[in-house]
Amino acid sequence: MVAKKKTETLKGNPWWSLSYALTSLKNYPVRNMGIALVLAIGIALPTTVFVWTSTGTELVVNEYFQEESYQMALNPRAGESFESSNLLEAQSTALGSAFIEYAHLVPSTIGILTGDFFHGWSQYSMLGMNYVQGIKDMRVIITTNAVLANWSRDFTWRGNFSLSSGQVLVSEQFVGYAHEVHNITIDVGTTINMDLLRYGARGDQLGTPTSLGQYPVENLLVVGVYEIKDLGSIIGASFPSITRQNWDPLGIERDVVLGITDSVIILEDEVEAEVVDEVSGRGFFLPVVLLRPSESGLLQYGAQNIGTNLAAFKIQLEEQYPGLIVDGLSEIWKLEAFITTYLQSQILTIIVFPVLIMSLMLTVFTSETSISRRKGEISALRSKGASFNQVFSTFMWESMFLSALGFILGISLSYVMAPLIGASTGLFSFDPNRYIEFISHIAFPPLAIIIAAAIALYLPVSYLVHVSRRIDVSEVGQPTTGYASEDTEDVGIWRYVIGLVIVLIALLIMPEVLTPTGSMAIVEVLVATLLLFAASYLGSRAMRLVTARVAGGTSFLLGEKSLYLSQSLQKRKGQFIPLLVILTLTLTTTTMMLIQSSSFEATLQNELRYAIGADMRIESDPTSLNFNQTLLSYAGILEATPTIETWAQVGTQRFFLEGVDAQAYKRIGIFSGSSFVNNDSATVLATLATVQNGIVISEYYGALWNKTVGDIVQIHYGTINGTTYNEFEVVGLMRSAPGFGVASTHDISGASFASQFGFQVIRGFALVNLDFLLMRTLIDTSSLFFADTVCYTDMTGIIDTIEVEKNTHVFTLETFDVSAESNSIQLFLSGIQGLTMISFILCAAMGLVAIALFLGSAVMERKPEYAVFRALGGTKKQVVSMVFGEFAGSVVAAITISVFLGIVFGYVMSILTLGLSPFVPVLPEVLSFPFTMMMVVLSLESVVLLMSTYLPARRAGSTDPASVLRNL
Amino acid sequence: MTIAEELDLYGDYPDDVVVSVENVYKIYKTHELEVVALSGVSMQVLEGKIMAVVGPSGSGKTTLTNIMGGITKATVGKVYWANLRTDITKLSERVLTEARRNFCGFVFQTANLLPHLNTWQNIELAARIAGVPRQVRRERVDRLIKLVGLEERRRSKATTLSGGERSRVAIASALVNLIDTEGKGLVLCDEPTGDLDPETSERILDLFQELNESLGTSFFIVTHSQQVASKADITIEIRDGIISGFHEAGVDLDTMDDTRIVRLDRNYRLAMPTDLLERAGNPTEFRITLEGGKFILVPQVGDVMDTMRVRKTRTCRVCGNEIPQGKFICANCGSTV
């Protein structure tokens, strides 16, 4: 028997799934864009925070390096020579370091201006009265064009700031002096001659052209006239001036000469190489090596380590080359403080966690809905010979494309939003210039990209889980368009209400039981986020039933629609509950973040007001106490009081004694109910006024020393003549006092707001009577005055006058610029405000996407229902109004519950956010409910959401009963 | 004899058998309940024939189709596919899918078209999935579109087609990978005219016949409709998972007289034609008598066995004496029956 031949099987097209995925993506643009957008929101949120902090860090680092050409300079110590100081070796060591971008050795000496107007000189002394003798001397800086290019950011100039052979740059002051000495005008285009002095001499020593190594340099064309921007910069400090009498030996006028301001710059090619060597080794001034750290090299080792690394490098150079002085890095602490605050602000990611989780949740819902709606399609593909793997890879390709799209969108959103945080100047306001600055320096740290990619992968994973299940259960031969009917849900409302009440109680007691500070605050924010989801779910379910009941009970208003609405709202939980939860979450989050942000700002203002201490706080160099009278002479100032401060010690405890006029301080100071322990401010200060050696000590020291009101404390304290000792009677205990901050810094776990403003008395203080302190210490000057001003008067004019005329710093709540005085607080505040703004936008976007996806798909699935309505005689308008009523009912339910939940969660989250911040309030937190802003924002969001429900309702109305029912 | 020939266990099947189902049982388990959908069904689909299966709802028609198409696995029994020359119940899902592509096509009541694709694309889809080269694909689709008469609607989206047109697209789509298989293909149709009016159904059935004649493809049609059954070459009836009727030619059961041809299945069971049973008042017992080379089947009511026993006397096997009816001991020798 011969075996019969088998037919060959078709192995299948491995690329079909890819092409089908692309077709499918094209065919469902709204749904796919919705999924990608929701994913993008999830990706964008953490990425935005990281991009903001990273860009901010880069910006401050950039600004720091942009500010000056050099950040360090190596100068030989006094008594050292060019060789003995090992300057050249130090230069090459610096160049070998990864932290240094370049190290420029710049020699300079003295030159004497020559020409037809001046026929030569026979003697010269650097400190002599040269000008009256017709000798115009100046510093001659010998350099290269590469160095000049780097210097350009430190100078302003006319003409050029680069040189060619036969050219020279001159300083403005040199031009002025030359005019004074020789009555000549030097400007761009003029030609000058000079004698370069190769060998130096001691300042007062006279030298001859030979001894000073006269080296004529002639016919130099002036191509630029420059002026240094900041004499305090590294360049300015590296070429210091001297002052000398030039004209009149008996006069008092001295000119500032021979510094960078009185200089000319020539190229080193202008003279022979050996002349440069001679100038370097023996010239009037020792050369300087200017160092510019490498921004990229430093960033490689982490932005947070820039300060430490540079400081370490500086120490290394100083230790290695004891003959050198390493100047610079005086402002590095500012840079460090900025960077640290930016890095600390990354914790703010946590406050957008609800939005992040919401977006991920919505991604699951939408992918689940999307796939379940395509069950019929899967079945059709299977019936046409598609293998499990082919169908599976189709969906996986789709998810990969959507994931990539979401990634790109998310990164783009971060690109747009991160600068918004950086440029934020308040709730819903930002500085466009700062925005552009941020966007032009935007930096995506690798960590942000990794987080973004990890979140992007969430979609394929979600598909992986859902698709494989769907393909498995999809039977071949199912209809490609499904119609699932669902029964009305018959559940009681009370279980949800009770659940909600329990969740809210748990939320409210959480910060009371566990103090939210540090990592505990992070944990509590996460728990609160979970509770937010639970509350939104329970609230949504309850509100859905409430709305259904309301709809059912208002038949007198709604007519026949009431039955449909009440029935419809009780079913389709698969679509409506996720939608309601998402809407509730978005609206609650918006409300919550508004309150959170507003409360933080209100607390900040409250702390600031307390830290300033009075209507007006005047700080100055030690000034006579009589200045108080001067202050009172200004219109608008009702009352003023000085304070005296001296150090004090009890045992090993050091603190300050603050002498105040108790009666005046009582009236002027802005006290809080929590300032003093067990008594109000008026009583405590009135007692202090009556007890000459009275003292108000901090609660902390009271407990530490076991002292209370009426006890005697023995204190050593500083006087003009040394240390003295006194017994003080405790008249009160305090926690804090206006104008001085927290009474003992041991009382708070972190930095107080006042310390950020610079108003906190270091370690702590005690209040005593001013007169007593004055008498005992003889300190009759004050650096701090408090003043009470007339309300409702514009004090800015008076403030300016006091500041300018009396050389003081005046602080008031109204004129205090938080951003200028405390970068850290400003950064944190703008972080919260920026994130609130972004969350609002993203929440609104997510709400709209959720409506488009869920209601769009609900309308699609329920077309037969609408077709039946139409077939039964319902007009298009009736169907639209019925469906719109149902959809809008859901949105209204979400709005109602979210306003309530938003306020409760806003309250708790405000407390938790303050716990997250690196600053500890001295006073109780101020909760601010920005009702107008909330009304505007929520109304806007609600109107947009409600309007967006009209579109699917209109689509429902346009159902063609003939075609739908035929295809049923 | 080569090893291949030795192993060709299915070589004894006639060449014209496309699919053979042998003693197939299908038991669905849902929760605690077991439902027997097919109970020892055996049948063969012959090449180039239209075969219809009729029967009431829930009788197991769709299950039988799915088992034949390899979509559902039989609980017990064998299913032979001519292209594989093997029992498919032992094969993996992947091998089955690949083998099914140019052997089986499906036409369902719902047509199963993809709404976002047009006529041409819907027909082409199965060939694309199978990896048929583009040129071949085009030729096949063009040919099929002509065959099913949809030249005018080739660019129309599936959603804009009428019910009849959709059925045509579904049929063409089912044939797109079978068209070049020289007749060894099978189209499994589950209620293909269920959605259609009688006139359109008639046209679809004519199309089946035309395609059957022109392409030589076999059709296996599940239907409720006697109209469909009348167009088939062979009609089987199925009832409670058992084949209960078998008609060699296309018959309209309504027009047939009271005589039928039935076939013993592999378990020597004789399935009864359901319409005749109904006409006889759905009897549950029969008296079968072999008389002069003919079986006489008489429906029974009442205590059949007792009546039969009363009439018979026995002969003692020991002494040959006659034992009177109703007695069990021989009066002569005392032996028991």
**Closest Cβ–Cβ partner in A3, A388, A479 for B4:** A3
Cross-chain Cβ contact B110/A389 below 8 Å: no
The residue that leads in pLDDT, A363 or B11, is A363
End-to-end CA distance of chain A: 54
Strand B50-54, strand A919-920: pairing: unpaired
Question: How far is residue A889's CA from residue A886's CA, in Å, rounded to a whole number?
Answer: 5
Question: How far is residue B231's CA from residue A354's CA, in Å, rounded to a whole number?
Answer: 65
Cross-chain Cβ contact A387/B99 below 8 Å: no
Q: What is the pLDDT of residues A107-141, one digit of tens each?
A: 999 999 998 887 788 889 888 888 888 899 999 99
Question: How far is residue B87's CA from residue B96's CA, in Å, rounded to a whole number?
Answer: 11
**Closest Cβ–Cβ partner in B97, B116, B159 for A387:** B97
Nearest CA in chain B to A383: B106
| Confidence bin at A503 (pLDDT 50/70/90) | very high
Most confident of A478-482, B120-124, B309-313: B120-124
CB-based contacts of A507: which residues, under 8 Å, 6+ apart? Answer: A528, A531, A535, A904, A905, A908
Going by C-alpha positions, the residue among A275, A317, A903, A160 that lies closest to residue A595 is A903
Cross-chain Cβ contact B93/A6 below 8 Å: no
Distances in Å between the alpha carbon of B54 and those of A208, A486, A702, B67? 130, 33, 100, 16
Cross-chain Cβ contact A7/B130 below 8 Å: no
Q: What is the ipTM of this complex?
A: 0.74
Question: How far is residue A919's CA from residue A938's CA, in Å, rounded to a whole number?
Answer: 30
The count of C-alpha atoms lying within 13 angstroms of the C-alpha of B173, restricted to the half-sphere facing its C-beta, is 34
Q: What is the pLDDT of residues A668-687, one digit of tens each?
A: 999 988 888 888 888 999 99
User: How much of chain B exceeds pLDDT 70, in percent?
Assistant: 85
Cross-chain Cβ contact A385/B100 below 8 Å: yes
Alpha helices in A571-694 (DSSP H): 573-612, 627-632, 662-668, 681-690
Helix, strand or coil for residue A950?
A: helix
Is a pLDDT exceeding 50 seen at residue B7? no
User: How much of chain B exceeds pLDDT 90, in percent?
Assistant: 4
What residues form DSSP beta bridges with A100? Answer: A293
Q: Which amino acid makes up residue B244?
A: S
Six token digits for residue A666? 């009582």
Q: What is the pLDDT of residues B286-322, one digit of tens each?
A: 888 888 888 888 887 655 555 555 556 778 878 888 8
**Residues of A with CB below 8 A from B116's CB?**
23-24, 27-28
| Confidence bin at A228 (pLDDT 50/70/90) | very high
| Confidence bin at A477 (pLDDT 50/70/90) | low
φ and ψ of A250, to 5 deg: -100, -10
Q: What is the pLDDT of residues A885-940, one digit of tens each?
A: 888 888 888 888 888 888 888 888 888 887 877 777 888 888 888 888 888 888 88
Size of interface A-B (CB pairs under 8 A): 119
Q: What is the pLDDT of residues B223-252, one digit of tens each?
A: 877 777 778 888 888 888 888 777 765 544
**Residues of B with CB below 8 A from A393's CB?**
none
**Closest Cβ–Cβ partner in A14, A388, A967 for B93:** A388
CB-based contacts of A557: which residues, under 8 Å, 6+ apart? Answer: none
Question: How far is residue A822's CA from residue A184's CA, in Å, rounded to a whole number?
Answer: 51
Summarize the confidence of residues A423-430 as an average pLDDT: 81
φ and ψ of A614, to 5 deg: -155, 180
Q: Do the Cβ atoms of B171 and B190 come closer than 8 Å? A: no
Q: Do the Cβ atoms of A397 and A21 come closer than 8 Å? A: yes
**Residues of B with CB below 8 A from A477's CB?**
106, 108, 110, 112, 190
| Confidence bin at A366 (pLDDT 50/70/90) | confident
Give the Cβ contact number of residue A673 at 10 Å.
9
Q: Which amino acid makes up residue A858?
A: A
Give the Cβ contact number of residue A505 at 10 Å.
10
Q: Do the Cβ atoms of A354 and A532 come closer than 8 Å? A: yes
Summarize the confidence of residues B262-269 as an average pLDDT: 72
Is a pLDDT exceeding 80 seen at residue A527? yes
pLDDT for res B2: 43
Q: What is the pLDDT of residues A550-567, one digit of tens each?
A: 776 666 655 666 666 666
Helix, strand or coil for residue B56?
A: coil
Distances in Å between the alpha carbon of A439 and those of A407, A430, A476, A833? 19, 13, 53, 18
Largest CA distance in chain A: 137
pLDDT for res B108: 83
pLDDT for res A300: 84
Is a pLDDT exceeding 80 seen at residue A823? no
Six token digits for residue B159? 């959603």
pLDDT for res A289: 93
Which position has the token pair 């084949």?
Answer: B243
Write the Ramachandran bin of B281: left for phi over 0, alpha for psi from -120 to 50, otherwise beta. Answer: left
Is a pLDDT exceeding 90 seen at residue A8? no
Summarize the confidence of residues B129-157 as an average pLDDT: 88
Give the Cβ contact number of residue A555 at 10 Å.
14
pLDDT for res A328: 83
Q: What is the DSSP letter of A196?
A: E
Q: What is the pTM of this model?
A: 0.74
The gap from C-alpha A183 to its chain's centroid, in whole angstroms, comes to: 55
pLDDT for res B1: 40
Is a pLDDT exceeding 60 seen at residue A311? yes
Summarize the confidence of residues A958-965 as an average pLDDT: 72
Strand B234-239, strand B50-54: pairing: parallel
Nearest CA in chain A to B191: A477
Is a pLDDT exceeding 60 seen at residue A40? yes
pLDDT for res B3: 41
Helix, strand or coil for residue B269?
A: coil
Cross-chain Cβ contact B177/A390 below 8 Å: no
Sheet holding B76-81, edge to edge: B33-46, B17-30, B76-81, B86-87
Write the Ramachandran bin of B240: left for phi over 0, alpha for psi from -120 to 50, otherwise beta. Answer: left
Six token digits for residue A928? 């601010």
φ and ψ of B192, to 5 deg: -65, -20
pLDDT for res B307: 53
Write the Ramachandran bin of A166: left for phi over 0, alpha for psi from -120 to 50, otherwise beta. Answer: left
Give the Cβ contact number of residue A635 at 10 Å.
11
| Confidence bin at A354 (pLDDT 50/70/90) | confident
Summarize the confidence of residues A422-435 as an average pLDDT: 84
Burial A330-359 (b: 16+ CB within 10 A, else e): eebeebbbbbbbbbbbbbbbbbbbbbbbbb
Q: How far off is chain B from A19, nearest CA to CA, in Å? A: 10
Question: How far is residue A780's CA from residue A180's CA, in Å, rounded to a whole number?
Answer: 49
Residues in chain B: 337
Six token digits for residue A562? 């009431």
pLDDT for res A1: 39
The residue that leads in pLDDT, A71 or B268, is A71
Q: Do the Cβ atoms of A307 and A333 come closer than 8 Å? A: yes
Six token digits for residue A540? 């949504």
The residue that leads in pLDDT, A108 or B203, is A108
pLDDT for res A479: 57
Which position has the token pair 């719109």?
Answer: A884
Helix, strand or coil for residue A226?
A: strand
Going by C-alpha positions, the residue among B224, B220, B192 that lies closest to residue B205 is B192
Sheet holding B242-247, edge to edge: B104-108, B186-190, B218-223, B50-54, B234-239, B242-247
Q: Do the Cβ atoms of A266 and A140 come closer than 8 Å? A: yes
Question: How far is residue A556's CA from residue A759's CA, in Å, rounded to a whole number?
Answer: 66
With vertex at residue A231, the alpha carbon angle to CA A227 and CA A234, rounded to the nearest 5 degrees, is 110
Cross-chain Cβ contact B131/A11 below 8 Å: yes
Question: How far is residue A166's CA from residue A269's CA, in Å, rounded to a whole number?
Answer: 9
Q: Do the Cβ atoms of A14 and B130 come closer than 8 Å? A: no
Q: What is the pLDDT of residues A314-345, one digit of tens each?
A: 899 989 999 898 888 777 777 787 788 788 78
Six token digits for residue A812? 């008031």
| Confidence bin at B4 (pLDDT 50/70/90) | very low
pLDDT for res A793: 64
Summarize the confidence of residues A723-730 as an average pLDDT: 90
| Angle between the N-to-C axes of helices B134-148 and B198-215, in degrees from 0 to 180, rounded to the nearest 10 | 130
Which position has the token pair 């028997």?
Answer: A1
Poorest-confidence range of A501-515, A571-585, B101-115?
A571-585
The residues in A 459-488 lying below 8 A from B, measured between CB atoms, are 475-481
With vertex at residue A498, the alpha carbon angle to CA A496 and CA A503, rounded to the nearest 5 degrees, is 90
Question: How far is residue A960's CA from residue B160's CA, in Å, rounded to a whole number?
Answer: 13
**Closest Cβ–Cβ partner in B100, B114, B190 for A380:** B114
Distances in Å between the alpha carbon of A274 and those of A88, A240, A271? 16, 25, 8
Helix, strand or coil for residue A624?
A: strand
Strand A214-228, strand A167-171: pairing: parallel
Q: What is the DSSP letter of A11?
A: -
Average pLDDT over chain A reads: 84
Helix, strand or coil for residue B67?
A: helix
Q: What is the pLDDT of residues A843-866, one digit of tens each?
A: 888 888 888 888 887 787 778 788
Say what the alpha-carbon torsion angle A413, A414, A417, A418 is, to the nearest 10 degrees.
Answer: -170
Q: Do the Cβ atoms of A188 and A222 come closer than 8 Å? A: yes
